[in-house]
Structure 1
Amino acid sequence: MKLLVTGGAGFIGSAVVRLAVERGLDVVNLDALTYAACLDNVASVADRPEYAFEHADIRDRAAIDRVLETHRPDAIMHLAAESHVDRSIDGPGAFIETNVTGTYNMLEAARSYWTASGRPETFRFHHVSTDEVFGSLGPTGAFTEDTPYDPRSPYSASKAASDHLVRAWGETYGLPIVLSNCSNNYGPFHFPEKLIPVIILNALAGKPLPIYGDGSHVRDWLFVEDHADALLCVLERGRTGRSYNIGGENERSNLELVRTLCEILDAKRPRAEGSYADLITFVTDRPGHDARYAIDPSRIAGELGWRPSVTVEEGLERTVQWYLDNEDWWRALQGREGVGTRLGQAR
């Protein structure tokens, strides 16, 4: 199989690229190399004959057409997206342009390519999305594939719109599509503006560890390498037209999560005095902050036999160790626009 991955220099996309190449797939990585992308994420496979890179933007339809005609992929996994909620609050336009218009361009380019190729039944367009499209849960319950959409931020609204477009192209044009919605990812190569890398890197620098509100917001945490495995499973074995929720089955409040990270750092790189937990600082919550996300992964488990393999305790320890071992990687990214700055406070 030859697989085109959009956003393959990003956090989740690069995990898919690395795993797919290691499994012997031919992979074309299409990425615009915006602020959150880094080609170092795929350095381990960059010299492999199965790998090719295309510097292109999904907002540029002509560029997508050129890439499809050049490489003739058997499947497309569409991950390219603006994904940071705080940035979407400050600048929603980029999220509409990339997540909505960009997805439209990908769908139309894929439809044209698929039609010109004789509409092969084996072709797949796999759209990768988020559990944030479902809104906010109360203390109990979990999102299923049938949960009504209720996005609360410009980011989640743009991803909800893209999900709807993908389903419409499947129904109206017969494009062979599959969708997946995932819970919060974490792990190696996580761009240093998201919660877990912020906490690790601030702790190492002796800076305050910021937690929104009272830290009671709950997320289901999915190790990124588990997610990459699940995405390839959905791509290869998922039913056409079907959506699959992918979760880590690891719910933690933000405060619990940060305290666990502090305990790991205390053991691996102790402070001269006290615990890293002494640096925890509660900050003003962001607007429209969803209280809780949780995934019911019954469908992917029952239909495809997939379950996460990494517990949150194991995954966090591996993640902390990776950041300790890869200082050159994260230091090079800390000077990028917005990193280290509080975003998403607009009302």
Structure 2
Amino acid sequence: MTNPPPPQDRSYRWPAEWEPHAATWLSWPHNRNSWPGRFGRVEPVYARMVRVLATSEPVHINVTDAAMERRARHYLSLAGADGEITFHYIPTNDAWCRDHGAVILKEEGPGTGDRLALDFRFNAWGGKYPYDLDDAVAPQMAETLGIPSKSADFVLEGGAIDGNGQGTLLTTEACLLNSNRNPQLSKQDIEERFRLDLGVEQIIWLGDGIAGDDTDGHIDDITRFVSEDTVVSMVEPNTADENHRPLADNIERLRDVRLTDGRKLRILELPSPPPLVYQNQRVPASYANFYIANSVVLMPGYHPSTDLLAAEVLASCFPKRDVVTIDCRDLIWGLGAFHCLTQQIPR
């Protein structure tokens, strides 16, 4: 099947994550180098994630071949996963579908519903790891969905941006202005690309990310929109912790924000879990790496006391969805959690 050409002279919008999904798209984990010494614990956690997602919406999963599909089905069966789960033979270097998957837009205007898949360039967070297969995933997703695909000659990962569906986008200077992404582009150039490619009007720039994040500071470990005018943002009250100052600085920036209609941004604080360190390496454990599906919110769990506090914040934001916490202390050794693994397909 060949996907249709991109429609011309149409206006598209990047929907918010909480808007209705047709499905969630994933890439099955297989790169043992991403979880050295812990890979055997990762697939069962991943299967539990799929089980929860499949109660909410159809799930599509990239696998390399029939052998990987059989392995995945084995773990899904052990986890009791049921529902509409479809496998696609789309090979990947790794499991982080948020960053290598297509970003799907919807056509603006009443009575319209056409979608457009954006194929941004992917370079494994500045050339840190192999990425040849991952960089080819987005157009294959579009072809499988039967929707037009548009190539964007711009290095961008899905975890580097977050939006409210109404023209405002969040990102970080640490990631997008890093010379390992688009060194030829200025901050103003990048803002213009966002406006042209994603149809947004307002770009909110935060500063640095959290310790242990090999993406150079993805926004989905720091601050996320939960409604058109509300964000949740990570805080670290311990002044001796290396995350305290960067997170406090980001909160200060958010307090100065006025949305396009003049409203102040509403800010809810998410607690930080206690530091997690494996093999003398701190990992980027963050409650901001949750994923909003149609009927559930998947939240990574790290420590009982802070898990409860974070879940209460998210439950207040999504009263019509169940907040489901899954222990991610093994999964985060790969330096990512649920939002990093998922890519929503707007309905």
Fold in common (TM above 0.5): no
Greater fraction of residues in strand: 2
Greater fraction of residues in helix: 1
- Higher RCO (CA < 8 A, seq sep 6+): 2
TM bucket, shorter chain: 0.3 to 0.5
TM-score by length of 2: 0.33
